[in-house]
Amino acid sequence: MNRANQDPENRNNSASAELLKPLDAAINRLAETNAIEGVSPVFEVIDAAKPLMFSPEGLEALYERVPAIESAGFFGGSDWDYPQTLAPSLAARTVRHGEAAATLVECLSQIRLLAVAKGDYIHPAISAEHAHHFLAQVLAMNLDLVVSDLQESDRLRPDQLGYAVQNLYHYLLRHLGYEDLLEHLVAEVWRILAQRPVQVEGVKHMVTQIAVCLEKPDALGGEVSDDAVQLINAVFSPTEGCREDPGFEVYSERLAEMDDATLLQEAIAFARAMHGTGLVSAYMPVFIRYLRGRWNELIPTALGLSYTGADAFHCYPALIHRLIDEALFPETSQCAYGLAMMLERGILYSPPVAPSLWRQIRLPLCDAAAGKIVAVFGSSRSPACFLLADVLNVLGRPLGIGQGNYPTCQSTRALSMWAYNMPAELLRILAWAARDDEIVMRFEGNSISSRELGAGLATEPPVDVDAVSLLTVPHLDRIYFEMGRRSVGRGEDPHKWVNAEFHGDHVGHGFRIAVDVFTGGLKDFDGFIRDFYAAYHPFYNGNIPVINPQPAGIAVTDSATRFLGWHAITIQRLALDADKTMRVYFFNPNNDSGQNWGQGIVTSTQGHSERYGEASLPVAEFVSRLYVFHYDPLEKGEPGDVPADEVNRAMQLAKDSWAMGR
């Protein structure tokens, strides 16, 4: 039942003509003003929309006006104008805890995304599938609004805004068409976790909400699946010692009473839960910190290390113990998984990495860097602790880095490439940003300092990313933009010069682009496709694997094959999957690589031999969306050997989608 209908003030909940007139008038004024001045008097629309938020009829009226609100420029000049970059975790916070105006804009944005998800409104920048996934995650983070009474903080919001938000989520729930909501939300959590993202606070919040729902069996209906139980146990009760989520104090007392055999069982259970889900319980740091004083030799077992990881642990015990002491706490529990995966990767055997980590441990943070970290992560631990924890997360899962809600895919891609391939370089750049509030890079023999540059592509600082990205990306973004500016006017795409200088010497100096930079039309597309196969496909390049991951650019399309924009990715490798299909495995820095690009081209994140964080496609399907790539001109096969039917298939898929009319 709708709580707003029970409100003691007995609001008039009908979307009467009296409420719709001022809304339509405000939308028209906004459209007229934007047409002339490009300045949005959005508060008139917000004020007129607010009374309609309290009834299903009012929300339906807002839903019907989504095209008019959008075309009037209501979201212009704000993050909401780029729905493809919005983050569910931020949206969930804004709608519950934001200022009144921000909450109402977020509500209207979610109504818009509902229209996109249902196919009633086509947005040029976001697909129906993306909108659907977004709303599913936001709904999962706010399940308590659907299944229980409002919390005190919601009830006390000004102008009864909490009731309006609750009404919105009842409306979303009815229209998203879930027969069994919990089952779908649990599947959504697993879909995200299959990609092993670095940032999992939103996922943990979703799991928490699902756990609350399961305490009320009749709230949403449906059976409690083993998948849901596994998630909940991984976060709240992964071992026998903390089976009923007893709290840290009680668990610490139990640890002190355990014998060695029981401690061994606890260690095995923690490792199984962590590696099975990618989530780390807040009890795990309590356990590992206890082992530091009693049984250090059991820590590799608790981390679930193989022979490789355990060997690295035993080669660098002082460093690993110090990392645990400085970085691993309940508030930073995820870095246990980052540490484990970093050891499994064997990067400590690269001589510069261990001393670089020692520098990071002792690094003094400048006031600007510390302030950014406190603003995003709080002050329950020191800024240096949060930063060191995310250093472990990024080094352990370089393909789990995401760009958050702002357009900096190039900088995020660079962080991933460095963490994957040049970890000491990443730590050097991070040290500059954290200690000096500056990054200096070379471009064609000249130094570029981020301190001396204006804004880059990102208009706002990030707030929904890991601490490493938080400190480095604003600097990198400005430098990347400046390199691009210095490359303009050379008659070719600036990426030809920028990518190698920005990402490092391992970027191939051969460069191919499918589009003429002046006309936007296709340019020697047949040769472009053949060159890719000759450079990358093992059947045509002499069976040479991808030695170093390479930057590339794709033309992103939605499920209706509409062109959404250009996007930076990394080509990680090409290999045969279990079905003997040659696939391209690539890194997409957008936080969610599972996408439908139309024509039956659905990027896979699991089930086709992907490693955590990779997306993959059969080669022809991938090439059909590729528009720029680098390669080594000295290690390339013969383009003429590539079969014509393979080339024609990729070419036709492109020409029937993003390249139509080019």
pLDDT at 146: 73
Q: Decide if pLDDT at 209 tops 90.
A: no
What is the Cα–Cα distance from 590 to 595, expressed in whole angstroms?
11
Cβ neighbours of residue 521 closer than 8 Å, sequence gap 6 or more: 515, 662
pLDDT at 447: 94
> Mean pLDDT throughout 164-190?
82
Give residue 595's region: left, alpha or beta (phi > 0; psi -120 to 50). Answer: beta
- pLDDT band, very low/low/confident/very high, at 452 (cuts 50, 70, 90): confident
Nearest residue to 123 via CA among 136, 109, 135: 109
What is the Cα–Cα distance from 481 to 487, expressed in whole angstroms?
10
Q: Which residue has the tokens 């939103």?
A: 202
pLDDT at 279: 97
**Can you read off the two tokens belonging to residue 494?**
């600036």
pLDDT at 222: 56
> Mean pLDDT throughout 45-53?
91
The answer to whether 548 and 581 have CB atoms below 8 angstroms apart is no
Cβ neighbours of residue 526 closer than 8 Å, sequence gap 6 or more: 647, 651
Look up residue 407 and give its DSSP letter.
Answer: S
Q: Decide if pLDDT at 6 tops 80.
A: no
- pLDDT band, very low/low/confident/very high, at 409 (cuts 50, 70, 90): confident
% of the chain residues with pLDDT over 90 = 64
Q: Decide if pLDDT at 587 tops 90.
A: yes
% of the chain residues with pLDDT over 70 = 92
Q: Decide if pLDDT at 564 tops 70.
A: yes
pLDDT at 9: 39
Range in 352-361, 431-440, 553-562 the model is least confident about:
553-562
pLDDT at 10: 42
**Can you read off the two tokens belonging to residue 132?**
């659907």
> Mean pLDDT throughout 211-228?
71
pLDDT at 315: 96
Helix pair 423-436, 353-362: axis angle to 10 deg: 20
Cβ atoms within 10 Å, residue 165:
23
Condensed to tens digits (0 to 9), the pLDDT of residues 417-444 reads: 999 999 999 999 999 999 999 999 999 9
pLDDT at 626: 96
- pLDDT band, very low/low/confident/very high, at 76 (cuts 50, 70, 90): confident
Condensed to tens digits (0 to 9), the pLDDT of residues 132-158 reads: 889 988 888 887 777 667 777 788 888
- pLDDT band, very low/low/confident/very high, at 219 (cuts 50, 70, 90): low
Q: Is the four-CA dihedral 200, 78, 121, 5 of positive or negative sign?
A: positive
184 burial (CB, 10 Å; 0-12 / 13-18 / 19+) is middle
The answer to whether 312 and 273 have CB atoms below 8 angstroms apart is no
Look up residue 602 and give its DSSP letter.
Answer: B
- pLDDT band, very low/low/confident/very high, at 12 (cuts 50, 70, 90): very low
Cβ atoms within 10 Å, residue 506:
15
pLDDT at 318: 97
Greater confidence, 40 or 453? 453
Range in 179-193, 326-340, 393-407 the model is least confident about:
179-193
Which H helix or E strand runs over 447?
A: strand 446-449
The answer to whether 475 and 438 have CB atoms below 8 angstroms apart is yes
- pLDDT band, very low/low/confident/very high, at 13 (cuts 50, 70, 90): very low
Range in 17-21, 265-269, 325-329, 333-337 the model is least confident about:
17-21
For the chain, give the mean pLDDT: 89
What is the Cα–Cα distance from 54 to 167, expressed in whole angstroms?
6
Residue 350 is which amino acid? Answer: S
Q: Decide if pLDDT at 61 tops 70.
A: yes
pLDDT at 469: 94
- pLDDT band, very low/low/confident/very high, at 406 (cuts 50, 70, 90): low
> Mean pLDDT throughout 639-646?
94
Q: Can you give the pTM of this predicted structure?
A: 0.83
What is the Cα–Cα distance from 149 to 219, expressed in whole angstroms?
12
> Mean pLDDT throughout 318-332?
97
- pLDDT band, very low/low/confident/very high, at 8 (cuts 50, 70, 90): very low
What is the Cα–Cα distance from 616 to 610, expressed in whole angstroms?
7
What is the Cα–Cα distance from 2 to 54, expressed in whole angstroms?
9
What is the Cα–Cα distance from 307 to 316, expressed in whole angstroms?
14
